[in-house]
Structure 1
């Protein structure tokens, strides 16, 4: 049993818990007729979660005061579906972050405002499973609320889902996605070419860049490849030099050392794209 602290609406209750202090209970009619101080069985809730961060607790309480109950219920159901789909728990911050984000996004869409997402393709390629889940959520929103979520917005939903699945801060994921886009732009500028976004080599490059950035950020360094480095420097000097430029940008943005071994993998990815383009010309 837990004790009611505040009834936010008929379906959502903030309750006092011995271990977690404050918990959120969600269930059809769970708050109806309840008053502060009354005991309530947490088993009666369809959803039970903890917002350990005090700021998120306040944000969620505020959110529930101006967001329609039907949408709150829809989001809780949708997040539960995503957990089942991935067979993994979502970090509870998504109840605040994604619900708030989508609520305002839908308002903007209904008012005719466009949504731009310059990192859409990189997001889709880096997180394909999360992108599919985000697309399914967008389709459900259209079906239930008659609001068509544009593709750019699906990219932002994808990042929220990935953040909640990996327990990584959304702002960090955004920074890394922007860095990948910057690195791709640097490659195109230096090689004086436009990389086809549907090319399999581009897919491999983007995924490698994401993994490389995460390795550097977490200081999970690859093994030394000095012998291969020397070979690549002689065989592919243009792409080899470019790989070091990319590494310097990564090091500056991440404020962490990028191991020399990354030059091997970057050179090979860049050379594959450059060779393919030359054959086409």
Structure 2
């Protein structure tokens, strides 16, 4: 195996029968040049850059600090082991580029908040835990302080890379909808939801299933008319809030949310109310 191009000390390109491969490993290209033989003992990762924007990855490997590339690859390897699943090769582009940007902002003391962080934490629990681990590794290795939302940012990249056809917009859609519903409840009652409470987690789980059913064209939950009438009367404020959320979902998703589902939403909203924190919104 012969080196076709050196990208950095830890990455090279080879070309076999007209097909390029990107090979990575600590020091695999140190002191090497084009047409030198590859040391097999230093090969750690090898893949065919057949994904879209493969040329961008080569550019990232040649322009991004090695410490960022190394951290990105460590995180990817750790995540693949923890999740027991291979990632789409594009993760090597998206995560590396993201980390370079995040670290640059941190060093410039610029903080960009992710308003979907809580929804991402609850939606993609396994990936979020890895994201938190990754943040600790980055902060320790590079002596920087990242915003707490960075764990959610990394989690989203990991979740997206697990899909057959990665699409960040699709991965964000559910989180965005759930975030909007939470903010509608907070606005209606003028209070902040405690997102770590069990009652909110139950509401969150219920609405996640509702959104999935809507997306798949399935029937939503049914409720007995007598119980529905009681919910409307006993939990009037929660039901009005749920009606407002349902109307928004109908407009946003071009669907119909029946009164019975509004009733279930109202029950969850009512259960959340004791956990609401007083605040001025």
Q: Does the TM-score normalized on the shorter chain lie above 0.5?
A: yes
TM-score tier, shorter chain, comes to 0.7 to 0.9
Q: Is 1:230 aligned with 2:228?
A: no
1:12 deviates by 1.2
1:39 deviates by 7.6
Alignment of 1:120-139 (within 5 A): 120-139=117-136
1:106 deviates by 0.6
2:28 to 30, 43, 47: 30
1:163 deviates by 1.6
Q: Which residue of 2 aligns with 1:14?
A: 13
Q: Which residue of 2 aligns with 1:202?
A: 200
Asked whether the 8 Å contact 1:6–1:14 carries over to 2, the reply is yes
Deviation digits for residues 18-58 of structure 1 (CA, Å, limit 9, x no counterpart): 69x4432112333353526x786989621123443332x02
Gaps of 5+ in 2: none
2: distance between equivalents of 1:172 and 1:124? 16
1:270 deviates by 2.0
Asked whether the 8 Å contact 1:213–1:250 carries over to 2, the reply is no
For the aligned residue pairs, the C-alpha RMSD in angstroms reads 3.1
Alignment of 1:176-187 (within 5 A): 176-187=174-185
3-state SS, counterpart of residue 146 of structure 2: coil
Q: 1:224 to 1:159 in 2, by over 3 A?
A: closer
Q: 1:43 to 1:270 in 2, by over 3 A?
A: farther
Q: 1:18 to 1:236 in 2, by over 3 A?
A: farther
2: distance between equivalents of 1:99 and 1:8? 15
Asked whether the 8 Å contact 2:7–2:62 carries over to 1, the reply is yes
2: distance between equivalents of 1:71 and 1:91? 19
Alignment of 1:115-154 (within 5 A): 115-154=112-151
Asked whether the 8 Å contact 1:232–1:240 carries over to 2, the reply is no
Asked whether the 8 Å contact 1:229–1:263 carries over to 2, the reply is no
Alignment of 1:61-210 (within 5 A): 61-167=58-164, 168-210=166-208
3-state SS, counterpart of residue 88 of structure 1: coil
3-state SS, counterpart of residue 192 of structure 2: coil
1: distance between equivalents of 2:190 and 2:141? 47
1: distance between equivalents of 2:105 and 2:220? 50
TM-score w.r.t. the length of structure 1 is 0.81
TM-score w.r.t. the length of structure 2 is 0.81
1:171 deviates by 2.1
Q: Is 1:249 aligned with 2:248?
A: yes
